[in-house]
Amino acid sequence: MQELGKAEANSTRIIRQDDKRVIIEKDLDTEYMVLSMGPQHPSTHGVLRLECITDGEVVVEAEPYLGYLHRCFEKYCEKVDYPAIVPYTDRMDYLAAMNSELAYCITVEKLLDIEIPRRVEFIRVIVAELNRIASHLVAIGTYAIDLGAFTPFLFCFRDREHIMSLLEWISGARMLYNYIWIGGLAYDVPADFKKRVAEFVAYFKPKAKELYQLLTENEIFVKRTYDIGIMPADVAINYGWSGPMLRGSGVKWDLRRNDPYSIYPELDFDVPVPDGKFSVIGDCLSRHLVRALEMDESLKIIEQCLDKMPEEPNFNSRALIPKKIRPKAGEVYGRAENPRGELGYYIVSDGKSTSPLRCKARSSCFVNLSAMKDLSKGQLIPDLVAIIGSIDIVLGEVDR
């Protein structure tokens, strides 16, 4: 803790009282203080450090400091061949490894210009949407515990365990799957896969509704998130926000709809955005609502995929996977809608090597976190916890 300087005498402070903003005048000279939040603080959701300049309990500015989890992902990509990069993508957003693999494989397949079997496409979408639900359950559960609600955390992890078991069953791994491969899949799904996924969908539908009511109708949770950390739509767009963060600001943008890939154009689902009835559009509560409603849409997508997925006896999920991947010279950018927003890969091939000349990942977590200064201005110190939790960052993807 150190002195930074003096605040102006007779300055004003905005605080919350009875769900309204009131201005309280200060007659005393106060000094700005620098407070360090993290990197060990549990509410920073990883090794993130915030340097907070405070005027009393009001945050003047919060500067995020990154790099505590840097693992040289992009440099490694230049040293290993294309298929060997897939396990590294798992370790960026380790809560949504299937989605990270899918984005990378889509990008390389675009560079190779190969067509993927329809059965593979349906399986990819099913596992990606299952992983999306699992990721949102972690986001909602940890957000609840950040704000003092312990029961939803237990409920979320109980239901997430069903998804983890399904994904472990088909891939052999619990979190870092290495299942979606360039041109196909590591394995076809087991015989009873469709049956077990359908059982999970039937089980989770009422649970998702229960979880929605448990938090969004909780007075304490609503008071901690309502009208906190507001981000207007135009500022969110200028920052390059995507995913639930951008949709929480009222912008109906989802790559599965606006720049569709795989078999998403064949599927019927909505893109939830807040309507302002339960929240202030762009606040922490809006971002939570988007994630809660998206789980219902993922269940719809999974149901449709189970109905439409073709049955192919003796199907070889590796049939189109090249023995050696050596794309023609050129560059490509591919992207997919991850649980936290747009994950993109920019890959440059020299046409000679089996490794990329350059591989750059575009992390939605990094971009979303970059707005922390704007989100934190004028908020109280306890509100920083609510704001960070609403961003739903994974530092493995931020630092890479």
* Two tokens, residue 332: 């490509």
Closest CA to 33 of 67, 63, 65, 57: 57
Tens digit of each residue's pLDDT, the chain (400 residues):
344 444 444 444 444 444 544 444 455 556 888 888 877 766 667 788 888 888 888 888 888 888 777 888 888 888 888 888 999 888 888 888 999 999 999 999 888 888 888 888 999 999 999 999 999 999 998 888 888 888 888 889 999 999 999 999 998 888 888 899 888 888 888 888 899 999 999 999 999 888 888 888 888 888 888 888 888 888 889 888 888 999 988 899 989 989 888 899 999 998 999 887 888 888 889 999 999 999 999 999 999 999 988 887 767 767 777 778 888 898 999 999 999 988 999 999 888 888 888 988 888 888 888 888 888 888 888 888 888 888 888 888 887 7
Closest CA to 163 of 178, 179, 174, 153: 174
SS3 call for 177: coil
Q: Which fold has domain 73-397?
A: Cytochrome-c3 Hydrogenase; chain B (1.10.645)
Distance CA 319, CA 354 (A): 20
Residue type, 194: K
Distance CA 373, CA 366 (A): 13
If one counts every other C-beta atom within 10 angstroms of the C-beta of residue 56, the result is 18
Distance CA 289, CA 275 (A): 10
* Two tokens, residue 13: 């402070």
Q: What are phi and psi of 362, to 5 degrees?
A: -105, 105
